[in-house]
Structure 1
């Protein structure tokens, strides 16, 4: 059975620090004064810092009114007239290593949104959810073929489906959900026909529509056309594999460069992949077994140079993604 390889670069000097469900949102917005980043667990705590008329407040409200909302969100600021962080790009650079996973932006021009998107894409780990309002802005993101940008087309001015989407789905267990077919609180379905919706999807965007009388997200893709849930699952595996391997090295007095130490690394990798299978990230075979492998090189197979530097490059793994069904073609017969 063919396996899909997932390459994980583990930086043991600076692991991501993120584990769990990888769903906390960050809102970047303009505000007078030195740049700050602050956590909020309730919308009532947001209003002292951001007036209810501001887009930052409205984005936060869209996140926090969802039934499956995250426990907290962060808001980071910049000030074009200040002496600290002056642009949203500088803000994302400064705060990228904080514990958020989905960023949304408030009140930005398209050129600044593209700047944020370029930065997030370059890091190839977290996601940027952005609202577009016309074909021109959709195409600006489609042209870049982003795999880390979720483009939510929604021409209704006062609604923020980008924030609602990550508020509802970002913090649910990774692997349990597709991002299609989902209902968002406080978002109004737009009226489009099948051809118009197909064009939106061709542009790498999703929309909020009525299907079978139920308001729902029209797709679950990023700008490149890849599926959000699969990319989210890959990020989950990367972050948790990093954390598990780092934990082995930190929580043992010494991990020996022999069969004992290698077995500890092997066990940690298998544990992470088994958890990924339990959550639905990894596929099951015909016998009900998870489709993943973990491979290790023996100590004798490690080059002397790596042994001298205490670097073990002999651990690798692969797994098959579980995928999902987003449509079906059904054939029927009428018996006479």
Structure 2
């Protein structure tokens, strides 16, 4: 898709328009199947039947009740004669409206290809499942920041799809992916040592803590937080979208301080919304920790002005993050 706006965000350590809560279930069949949106489970059942993997994944998503997305998308990769490669199928699907990818395949070679392709694209996230920690560890060695692996001894009921259904449609940045109850998924009865081994391999899982069934972590294979990647993508895409709309709806964005201020205003509006959705932290006085620095016309290279290209805009923000663990000390006085 052609565009005139390119936003680059680097995560400083330590540190068409997408529907950012919309999952895509990708199956496979000899005839393939184009991208299609579904608004309820009955429609999926009518088209695919209850025994298909696509239906099982959709059920896991919509089983999460009010937290589940209003709609999902399903497509199938063509197999057999004239089969589609991973590159082929993603090339046609990247033009569509979705953010979270769930594949019905769990074959290691397939998962590695999808993970690599999603990482290279840099605009979506891939959730997969595994019952083999050796396979998970092999994936972790790639340090993919856009792939999350859900480990469970039972993966036929799509625990990773359930997690997307539970969390993915919340306002971006407003939730963490840890501590979440998943309807229809049984917690693993494991020791702390076994849980640590799962996390060390690079996966997350589902356990019981303080009598509550909940997800054990909220990380991708690289160790980055899922909500950080989600927030980064949201801010980048919305600044690009907002400025592209500004260009389209304005007779001319002048290459002067007024036009530059328009670009900065769009950027600040997106950052303000990100702050309201709890992506961006606040200081001790409750003020949002973000800022912009857009060079004035006089500070811009004349060669850029001649090319009508403005490269002088910058912004920064502090991630709000989330508290996942705590140590609280007490003192008994006699």
What TM-score, normalized to structure 2? 0.93
2:235 aligns with 237
Counterparts of 1:300 and 1:245, CA distance in 2: 22
Once the two structures are superposed, residues 199-224 of structure 1 have per-residue CA deviations (whole angstroms, 9 ceiling, x without a partner) of 11112210000011100000000001
1:76 aligns with 75
Displacement of 1:88? 4.3
Displacement of 1:238? 0.5
Counterparts of 1:263 and 1:282, CA distance in 2: 22
User: Relative to structure 1, is the Cα distance of residues 262 and 247 closer, same or farther in structure 2, using a 3 angstrom cutoff?
Assistant: same
Displacement of 1:125? 2.1
User: Relative to structure 1, is the Cα distance of residues 108 and 196 closer, same or farther in structure 2, using a 3 angstrom cutoff?
Assistant: closer
User: Relative to structure 1, is the Cα distance of residues 147 and 184 closer, same or farther in structure 2, using a 3 angstrom cutoff?
Assistant: same
User: Relative to structure 1, is the Cα distance of residues 274 and 13 closer, same or farther in structure 2, using a 3 angstrom cutoff?
Assistant: closer
2:313 aligns with 315
Unaligned runs of 5+ residues in structure 2 are 8-15
What is the aligned counterpart of 2:201 among 200, 203, 219?
203
Counterparts of 1:286 and 1:34, CA distance in 2: 55
1:6 aligns with none
The answer as to whether partners of 1:103 and 1:129 remain within 8 angstroms in 2 is yes
**What pairs up with 1:124-273 in 2 under 5 angstroms?**
124-273=122-271
1:18 aligns with 17
SS in 2 for 1:140: helix
Displacement of 1:69? 0.9
Once the two structures are superposed, residues 219-273 of structure 1 have per-residue CA deviations (whole angstroms, 9 ceiling, x without a partner) of 0000011111111111111011111111211110000000111111111111111
Displacement of 1:89? 4.3
Counterparts of 1:63 and 1:212, CA distance in 2: 25
2:57 aligns with 59
Once the two structures are superposed, residues 266-317 of structure 1 have per-residue CA deviations (whole angstroms, 9 ceiling, x without a partner) of 1111111111111101110011110111111111222222111111111110
SS in 2 for 1:150: strand
2:40 aligns with 42
Counterparts of 2:6 and 2:166, CA distance in 1: 30
The answer as to whether partners of 1:33 and 1:82 remain within 8 angstroms in 2 is no
What TM-score, normalized to structure 1? 0.92
Counterparts of 1:234 and 1:108, CA distance in 2: 27
Unaligned runs of 5+ residues in structure 1 are 1-9
SS in 1 for 2:306: helix
RMSD between aligned residues: 1.7
Displacement of 1:53? 1.1
SS in 1 for 2:47: coil
The answer as to whether partners of 1:76 and 1:91 remain within 8 angstroms in 2 is no
Displacement of 1:79? 2.4
Counterparts of 2:32 and 2:192, CA distance in 1: 47
Displacement of 1:13? 6.6
What is the aligned counterpart of 2:289 among 291, 299, 311?
291
Counterparts of 1:196 and 1:11, CA distance in 2: 48
Counterparts of 1:209 and 1:154, CA distance in 2: 10
2:98 aligns with 100
